[in-house]
Chain A
């Protein structure tokens, strides 16, 4: 079972719909006991970082997330919260990945960055399990105003005036800035890759 973390940071319908389409069992939850039972974690989220962090701390989820060894996929705000801090607030975030989020410069481009943008795989990261059957240059649907820096943990970048981390990973932790659940076939492939990574292709589907 995949646990989709429910922490009052926006709308989970699109992620759970995507899990339904992939016929994956999931539970939307904020209970630590459920997370302990899960095979893997999807950490979604839209909205502001500060209230999201407060809700995670209130439920003890921040500590749990930092120490988990289960495969974890952060989506959009969920990815951003994996970093150390963000200028949104400013807010101290989970610190699983090094780096600080910055806001796009609204004098240089329209903010939020919204729409289908190409995602380019970093040299040497082509074999990342999330990228199976996803060529460099594939379009994914983005909606965000803050962006993660390009670091050693960057798996793929997107460019909106300057490059930023579109996919990042460290050990069991993975994050995507875009919305795979809204990114057509390519997004579905990425989510399928995550499930395959969790279940080793031995996934039992529920019809």
Chain B
């Protein structure tokens, strides 16, 4: 059976892993290649690297980092953060990334999804969607959650799948950082309309939250950062609990 996936996320700045502490500052969390190796050994099914560097040197550094990661780890990985063109995607895939994720750029230029999917295949193209509840619905936010686009998140997810995205990485901004559980209502509604795998992000605090994202939210994969960084949850324990809950996982 096709396994549900556990995906640790690593934030990268200037080639190093960083992690936020109480939403104030960022502290250095070490060498991304080393951390990736640790996660891979512990049973992570895939990895996501999100580059939050904001300098002109960014691309070159990121391509070099991707090459380094690809030579060391034996599981698939996705790279995201400010990717805007087919040329940038091409460089990252050639360096060894399996997929790229895009967020603000595809809102500005939805055709980019189709251009990338036509050239590299849908399986390489992950649409990252940041959603925040507004009354009875959810809006899409861009620019790292700073700007409300006014677009409906469920409609946007349906559209990105239709345009060729192979996967949706859905982050609930309401839940992100709260450790109060995933937004399963939103996940489930997106899962019903978008015929591509759905990665749940934002809100992981306990093992039960991850199980609920799959059984209630109908997600295909669960992404989290801090619970794995700080070893609040061991990947092996999480997978064992998912297995006991009847969810197919790779043990």
Contacts and interface: CB of A to CB of B under 8 A. Distances in A.
Nearest to B251: A139
A112 B166 CA distance: 8
B75 A141 contact: yes
Interface stretch (B22-30, B94-102, B179-187, B230-238): B94-102
B21 interface: no
Interface string B1-20: 11101000000000000000
B137 interface: no
A18 to B, nearest CB: 7
B196 interface: yes
Contact of A110 (B5, B95, B195): B195
A151 B40 CA distance: 35
A36 interface: no
Contacts of B123: 112, 114, 143
Chain A, interface size category, equals 20 to 34
A47 B121 contact: yes
B195 A185 contact: no
A143 B196 CA distance: 13
B98 A182 contact: yes
Contact of B96 (A17, A143, A183, A184): A17
Interface of B: 1-3, 5, 40, 45, 67, 70-71, 74-76, 93-96, 98, 121-123, 166-167, 195-197, 220, 250
Nearest to A179: B76
A114 B76 CA distance: 11
Contacts of B40: 184
If over half of B's interface residues share one DSSP class (helix, strand or loop), that class is named, otherwise mixed; here it is loop
B74 A114 contact: no
Contact of A106 (B3, B96, B195): B195
A187 B75 CA distance: 9
Contacts of B74: 18, 21, 181-185, 187-188
A20 interface: yes
Contact of A20 (B5, B71, B95): B71
A21 B149 CA distance: 45
Contacts of B93: 11
A74 to B, nearest CB: 18
